[in-house]
Amino acid sequence: MAKRTATTANAILGLLALRDEWSSWELTQQLRRNMRFFWPRAESQIYGEVKALVGRGWARSRQTFVGRRARTSYTITPAGRGALTEWLATPPKPTALECEPLLRVFLADFATPRQLQVAIDQVRADADAILGVGRVVAAEYLAGTAPFQDQVHVRALVFDFLSSHALMLREWADRTEQATASWPRAAPRTRERAAKASIAATRARYPDLYM
Amino acid sequence: MAKRTATTANAILGLLALRDEWSSWELTQQLRRNMRFFWPRAESQIYGEVKALVGRGWARSRQTFVGRRARTSYTITPAGRGALTEWLATPPKPTALECEPLLRVFLADFATPRQLQVAIDQVRADADAILGVGRVVAAEYLAGTAPFQDQVHVRALVFDFLSSHALMLREWADRTEQATASWPRAAPRTRERAAKASIAATRARYPDLYM
DNA sequence: GATTACATGTAACATGTTACATGATTAC
DNA sequence: GTAATCATGTAACATGTTACATGTAATC
């Protein structure tokens, strides 16, 4: 079987296809600003991946200098566009969520109330990080001054996704804070009844999905 | 700085702490059933990690046989409980979402309408996978027959999280399908106006978060 | 009795992260 | 002119996945 192309490389390829020439730094910026929340990668990896693209003939690099310091800029090649097209024809991998705070909630019986609270706060912080970026990006697109203004139609869909995700996180954090506040003083029986009621309520709210 | 303990090991440690003895298989089952959606790991990794726990003195193993075939069962040690407690005192890592379908939406200009639809469908499928498991788990807990019935108070919070997440995915998929359906026939100007309107609407719906 | 699904791993490989090093630019 | 931050990587390491190998139980 043909070796599957790593998806991070394809993400970079996609960026390269959007514009003529990118420096490594611009790539990391773009990744950080726009894609971090649904395609998170360490910035140091970008430098390596884009160099690998050149090795496969999918991009050309050009050296310029800033003072005495080298800067590399990259341009996609026709072969690179071909690789991008081929990848887009493959089925996408499933969505994956990794939530360590929720893992800690899962193990709340071994933690202190304070530690549980910290986990919930982290989820809220995660949401706020998304909303903070969304705020400035939304303003730019609405003002018509965003760097890729011609991509609004697509970016609006991403904005919708991330907004919904962040909102969901915030609302869950609020509900969970509420629900766990009384734990230290509640009898196990009471907690259990409340938990079952919560499950039943969620299920009843979406009968077509859950029954 | 002390070497940080890998979190997957801690997740397993948490399971071991919930009950006396676990076979590797039971661990993989539990991971698959309950934690897959917020802490996804390849099953083959479990076998390796739990063996590493024994190496660090955090678990003991016991060999039994099924026919001529060896089966290993694991029990947490006091040192293991200590390690779990220490880990719970550290700050949790942020939540991470990895959504390749959204990456493809981001690059929709290079894809065919059909490929865009496939990406959206994948998001819906991701949601349905969660809801499918949630359906049976919810039923078990409400019936009082779940394997860890005494953990309802915690599992209800996880159920709430995953339900909300799945619902969010489904609703986004529906909206996005709607929004992109007209793309092939729409003038760029029209798409752009609609996109801006969508961003503005989301922002207006949550003025305290976005303005 | 053959086939399929369950159970139990191992080894090779791919991917990704952290820590570090160092030059350039900006703010003061 | 000096500290802080931006920009540009590299190397070492940790983590994770895929592919494979093989025994066992269920079923038809």
- pLDDT tens digit sequence for A2-52: 345 678 999 999 999 999 999 999 999 999 988 999 999 999 999 999 999
pLDDT score, position B4? 57
Q: Which residue has the tokens 């060999």?
A: B63
Chain A's closest residue to B90, CA to CA, is A115
Buried b (16+ CB within 10 A) or exposed e, B79-108: ebeebbeebbeeebeebebbbbbbbbbbbb
Mutation site for A-interface testing, chosen from B120, B177, B199 by largest number of A Cβ within 10 Å: B199
**H or E stretch covering B64:** strand B59-66
Backbone angles phi and psi of A39, in degrees to 5: -150, 65
**H or E stretch covering B65:** strand B59-66
Residue A62 pairs with which residues in a beta bridge?
A73
Q: Judge: B35–A106 Cβ closer than 8 Å, yes or no.
A: yes
pLDDT score of B189 more than 50: yes
Q: Assess A86–B contact: CB distance below 8 Å, yes or no.
A: no
Backbone angles phi and psi of A120, in degrees to 5: -65, -40
* B166 CB-near residues (< 8 Å, 6+ apart): B126, B127, B128, B130, B131, B134
Question: What does the pLDDT look like over A60-100, one tens digit per residue?
Answer: 999 888 777 788 999 999 999 999 999 999 999 999 999 99
Q: Judge: B164–A168 Cβ closer than 8 Å, yes or no.
A: yes
Residue B47, CA distances (Å) to A131, B11, B23, B59 in order = 39, 13, 10, 13
pLDDT score, position A1? 31
Task: Tell me the pTM.
Answer: 0.95
Provide the angle, in degrees to the nearest 10, between the axes of the packed helices A78-88 and A7-18.
120
Chain B's closest residue to A159, CA to CA, is B199
Backbone angles phi and psi of A36, in degrees to 5: -50, -40
B1 in contact with nucleic chain D (CB within 7 A): no
Q: Judge: A151–B96 Cβ closer than 8 Å, yes or no.
A: no
Q: How many residues does chain B have?
A: 211
- Structure tokens that stand for B204 in this block: 């207006």
B77-91 average pLDDT score: 95
Measure the CA–CA gap between B188 and B186, rounded to whole angstroms: 6
**Nearest in space to B2 (alpha carbons), one of B81, B80, B87:** B87
Q: Assess B180–A contact: CB distance below 8 Å, yes or no.
A: yes
Closest nucleotide to A45, Cα to C1':
C16
Residue B183 pairs with which residues in a beta bridge?
none
pLDDT score, position A70? 80
pLDDT score, position A210? 87
Which among B88, B119, B165 has the least Cβ separation from residue A104?
Answer: B88
Written as one letter, the residue type at B96 is: A
SS3 A186: coil
Q: Judge: B97–A164 Cβ closer than 8 Å, yes or no.
A: no
**Nearest in space to B98 (alpha carbons), one of A154, A11, A124:** A11
| Rounded to 5°, angle at Cα B39 from B145 and A175 | 70
Buried b (16+ CB within 10 A) or exposed e, A196-208: bebbeebbeeeee
B56 in contact with nucleic chain D (CB within 7 A): no
